[in-house]
Amino acid sequence: MRLPIRMDKAESERDAAWALNALHRVSWRRPARQGHCRLIHISTDYVFDGTSTQPYLIGDTPNPLNVYGASKLDGERAVLEVLPEQSAIVRTAWVYSAHVVISCIRCCV
């Protein structure tokens, strides 16, 4: 299965989006537990619906509006379920890339 490299492909390639953003997270379970290391999971502000007039905070309830946001939220939940004390979630907006034109990074969590 080809994994999407752009979030706009997630709607048309749902299985690939879930494989990349949520399901593949199981691959790090054993190494992270055995190595007693911290895991930093990069997520997105797309886990929210964008209706807030204030910046999102850690305790705000996610409400993804698309496959990309929902699959990223599932990835976050998998990380927190497996490594609640050894993980951190960073939600970003507009990640830089040499291959895709995107803008500034903003941390939500």
Active site residues: 68
Q: Is 15 helix (H, G, I), strand (E, B) or coil?
A: helix
φ/ψ bin of 9: left (φ > 0), alpha (ψ from -120 to 50), beta (otherwise) = alpha
DSSP state of 62: P
Task: List 6's β-bridge partners, or say none.
Answer: none
Cβ neighbours of residue 89 closer than 8 Å, sequence gap 6 or more = 41, 43, 76, 79, 80, 109
